[in-house]
Amino acid sequence: GQNIDQPTEMTATEGAIVQINCTYQTSGFNGLFWYQQHAGEAPTFLSYNVLDGLEEKGRFSSFLSRSKGYSYLLLKELQMKDSASYLCAVRDNTNAGKSTFGDGTTLTVKP
């Protein structure tokens, strides 16, 4: 099975940079996903890593180290609308493409 750990809460200031970490233990790995979820809404896809290294997409970047079972999501130039829960998810290597989700990190951006 999979085990995912990420911090429960984080607070940052508008315009700053914040890094949300995720560690995982897995019995099969076929990619790590980050989703954003605003309160009362569905999760939406942010990023995907399957190889080691950094993937950059605008203000958001995601990093993966498979040997360390570690990923982070980096958010730059924080905006108030970035206040949300950020979910780390690991996909297994079966054809079903099941993902195991972390509990989510609630990010609060303050003025």
Q: Which residues bind another protein (CB under 8 A)?
A: 4, 30-31, 33, 35, 40-45, 48, 50, 87, 89, 91, 95-104
Cα–Cα distance list, 73 to 5, 95, 108 (Å): 13, 26, 15
Cβ distance to another protein smaller for residue 78 or 85: 85
Provide, rounded to whole angstroms, the least separation between the CB of residue 31 and another protein: 7
Provide, rounded to whole angstroms, the least separation between the CB of residue 91 and another protein: 8
81 three-class SS: helix
Q: How far apart are CA 100 and CA 107, in angstroms?
A: 20
Cβ distance to another protein smaller for residue 6 or 109: 6
Cβ distance to another protein smaller for residue 12 or 88: 88
Q: Could you give the count of Cα atoms lying within 13 Å of 99 in the half-sphere of its Cβ?
A: 14
